[in-house]
Amino acid sequence: KSPFPTTSSSSKPTPAQTQNPATLPTSQNEYEISAKGTTWSWSFSYQLDGSKSALSSDSSHSTVLFLPQGKLVHITLKSNDVSHGFWVPGLGIDQEASPDSAARIDIKAEKIGTFPGACNIQCGRGHTGMKLSVEVVTESEYLKYLSTLK
């Protein structure tokens, strides 16, 4: 489920849609994201250009990775505990996240949509519930999402 409000031609825009563009982050050529695997879940942190602190996913979208369409994104994978698989077949991603080292994925997603993923390494009892999804959205929607994070 997308965090971005939708409107029809007859409905009023929501506050998120009428947000002052001056408060939104600015466009970048490339983006940095950290993905952390932990006991049967994923969390994501988004780095903004020039910012030393990362923005963490909000709790309602903690297992959703947002990517801006058509932009190069560098994803650093880490694990807090055991090896986990970061597998998103619709985007051609299949990478192991290990507790001993960081792995890197470079991706430029061209197609807007939702792409389901999961851990594809037997990591323990809760392995089958270790799901995630990737939402590829327009860059303006991506920046709106980032502006809601702390």
Can you list the residues of the chain whose pLDDT is less than 70? Answer: 1-23, 49-54, 57-61, 122-129
Cβ neighbours, 10 Å, residue 117: 22
- How buried is residue 150: exposed, middle or buried, by Cβ count under 10 Å (0-12/13-18/19+)? exposed
- C-alpha to C-alpha distance for 143 and 27, rounded to whole angstroms: 8
Q: The tokens of 67 are what? A: 């990517």
Selection from 90, 80, 99 nearest residue 136 by Cα: 90
Helices (H) and strands (E) in the chain, counts: 1, 10
> What pLDDT, on a 0 to 100 scale, did the predictor assign at position 12?
36
* H-assigned helices in 99-148: 139-147
Q: Do 149 and 55 meet the contact criterion of CB atoms below 8 Å apart?
A: yes
Note the pTM of the prediction, 2 decimals: 0.77
According to DSSP, the β-strands at 30-38 and 72-79 are parallel
> Taking phi first (over 0 means left), then psi (-120 to 50 degrees means alpha), and beta for anything else, what does residue 80 get?
alpha
